[in-house]
Amino acid sequence: MENFMKTVSIKNAEHYVWGDGCDGWHLLKSSAVSVIQEKVPPGKSEVRHRHGKSEQFFYILSGEATIEAGETRTVLRPGDGLHIPPHVPHQFKNESGRDVEFLVVSTPPSHGDRENL
């Protein structure tokens, strides 16, 4: 438990690349919750998918994102957030002309709990 007071940022967090040029940083990675900061370039998107157990909350830091969840299409701007319950098909898209940076909080963590549609 000695790392619980460690300051974390994208400068020292575990980094990974996903999709076609998208970045993610694990800010918090535990068995109960995952907090990831991600960056999606213009024109890029996630594959439509759903989670069986995980619920997620997307919070936009910069840029503009479109999230299709179920039959609803929502545009999010800085300071906007959206909750996605388990089992709801969803897709994150950057249809704007600049990078979108956001936080995605998942509980329990969504890695390994995903069905592509």
CATH of domain 10-116: 2.60.120.10
Cβ-based burial of 32 (10 A; exposed 0-12, middle 13-18, buried ≥19) = exposed
Domain residues of the chain, as ranges?
A: 10-116
- What is the distance between the alpha carbons of residues 69 and 66, in angstroms, rounded to a whole number? 10
Q: What is the pLDDT of residues 59-88, one digit of tens each?
A: 999 999 999 999 999 999 999 999 999 999
pLDDT of residue 111: 85
Q: What is the pLDDT of residues 29-55, one digit of tens each?
A: 999 999 999 999 999 999 999 999 999
- What is the distance between the alpha carbons of residues 117 and 107, in angstroms, rounded to a whole number? 21
Q: What are phi and psi of 109, to 5 degrees?
A: -50, 140
Please list the residues that pair with 62 across neighbouring strands: 101
pLDDT of residue 16: 95
Rounded mean pLDDT, 98-116: 95
C-beta separation of 92 from 100 below 8 A: no
Residues 46, 87, 92, CA angle at the centre, nearest 5°? 20
Q: What is the pLDDT of residues 1-33, one digit of tens each?
A: 556 678 999 999 999 999 889 999 999 999 999
